[in-house]
Amino acid sequence: MNINTNSVAVVGLQWGDEGKGKIVDLLAEAADVVVRFQGGNNAGHTLVVDGEQTVLHLVPSGALHADTTCVIGGGVVVDPGVLASELASLRARGYLVEPGSLMLSQEAHLILPYHKAIDQARERKRGKGKIGTTGRGIGPAYEDKFARIGIRAGDLLDRDGFVARLRENLAEKNAYLEAMLGEGALDFDSVLAELDESTAGLLELVADTSSWLDEATRSGSKVLFEGAQALMLDVDHGTYPFVTSSNTGTGAIATGAGIAPSLVGRVLGITKAYTTRVGSGPFPTELDNEVGESMRETGGEFGATTGRPRRCGWLDAVLLAKAVRINGVDGLTVTKIDVLTGIETLNICTGYRDPAGEPCDVPSTVAALELVEPVYEQMQGWDEDLGAAQSLDDLPRAARAYLARIEELAGVPVDVVSLGQDRSRTLVLEHPFGV
């Protein structure tokens, strides 16, 4: 077990939407810095404080704490228009008004209008075979990063260089949009004018966040790394190709934040008490029936970014154990256990069988994963309302047994239990910062 409690990583263990934003907001109370290290505004982190809801897509979920510095690391892809408007609405409410309270890595790649156009046009063209992306240009922006033609936040500081690269890239992207995707070309002057407007207020945020974070961590600041999406959407370890275009796990923190791997401390993995996924792709424990429907209704399972209904199903402990292993999870947060109230018998998937009926591991292809049969273990449900519980002992025996079984199957302790959207509805059994 990792004993460095100066830094904590919060990572998703399923297909996203586990409630990472709420937990990061809660833990940010004890943190000096909150860092996003991958993904972009495909994320939608919902925070509810005293009944007031804030949805953040790019700004780290520490934004509501006055003394917390928020950092957008170099591994994030940033849509300047989205960042500018998110920042403006937070500032209008009195958050992030201090200079230096939000920093943007000079190495963060920008999501540009042609990335969004390509993402959306490709999805339209794919029709039924679509990935179900958020349409925010995430994949095309990461493609350009790795093709070494991306434009980074730091490039905005050299106006002539930025304009020249934009012109060159747009010519190439327009050719692709027109010839391959049958779309209209984007107009250079309009694209530039849009970017000039959205980036004007962002220039002052651009910084060498890698050095700054190294210094902060080594001088004893408490740092929280906020994952977006989750391991089953990881471009390497998820249900490829129905994944996002970044590495989403603990392994991405060092590269995405620009810090030494040894500076990553305790890892808190977040899982719902059941499973959801948005977008296409295999989902072995999906419930296409009234139980799944009741999870969606009770749990408010509609995307924070796109509003799409989420697919719902039983907890899949096979995938959970895989995500715990790859992320090096030290402790779990189990969210939304209150949503299961009233379901008489609960199922947990503890294994898979292949089409021949033989026990099997998680297959690496989606075609094979589509065909596995989940093996279920049944557990007794409960009827009591969990919302008012102040400690684990206040939970009904069946709910405690359910949590204990998750611990056994995941092989790590449950550190935090979330019983509702509000910050106050949380049982912190073991604080990851050790406070």
Query: How many helices (H) and strands (E) in the chain?
Result: 12, 20
Least spacing, CB of residue 136 vs ligand IMP, in Å: 5
- Count of residues of this chain found to bind ligand IMP when the rule CB under 6 A is applied: 21
Is the CB of 101 or the CB of 247 nearer to ligand IMP? 247
Backbone angles phi, psi at 45, to 5 degrees: -100, 115
Known catalytic membership, residue 115? no
Tell whether residue 381 is a contact of ligand IMP (CB under 6 A): no
Tell whether residue 245 is a contact of ligand IMP (CB under 6 A): yes
* Binding residue for ligand IMP, selected from 132, 351, 381, 396, defined by CB under 6 A: 132
Whole-angstrom CA distances from 48 to 18, 94, 341, 375 are 15, 16, 21, 36
Tell whether residue 226 is a contact of ligand IMP (CB under 6 A): no
265-294 residues near ligand IMP, rule: CB under 6 A: 278-279
CA distance 323 to 268: 12
Residue 333's nearest CA partner among 15, 58, 26 is 26
* Binding residue for ligand IMP, selected from 9, 16, 21, 432, defined by CB under 6 A: 16
* Binding residue for ligand IMP, selected from 61, 134, 174, 421, defined by CB under 6 A: 134
Structure token digits, residue 270: 């977040």
25, 45, 79, 109: the active-site residue: 45
34-53 residues near ligand IMP, rule: CB under 6 A: 42-44
CA distance 167 to 67: 41
Is the CB of 121 or the CB of 131 nearer to ligand IMP? 131
Identify which range of 10-18, 88-96, 107-115, 319-327 contacts ligand IMP by CB under 6 A: 10-18
Known catalytic membership, residue 237? no
Least spacing, CB of residue 236 vs ligand IMP, in Å: 14
- Provide the 8-state DSSP code for 185: P
Percentages of the chain per state (helix, strand, coil), in multiples of 5: 35, 20, 40
CA distance 277 to 282: 9
* Binding residue for ligand IMP, selected from 90, 102, 233, 252, defined by CB under 6 A: 233
Buried b (16+ CB within 10 A) or exposed e, 97-116: eeeebbbbbbbbbbbbbbbb
**Where on the chain is the footprint of ligand IMP (CB under 6 A)?**
15-17, 42-44, 131-134, 136, 138-139, 228-229, 233, 242, 244-245, 278-279
Catalytic residue IDs: 17, 45
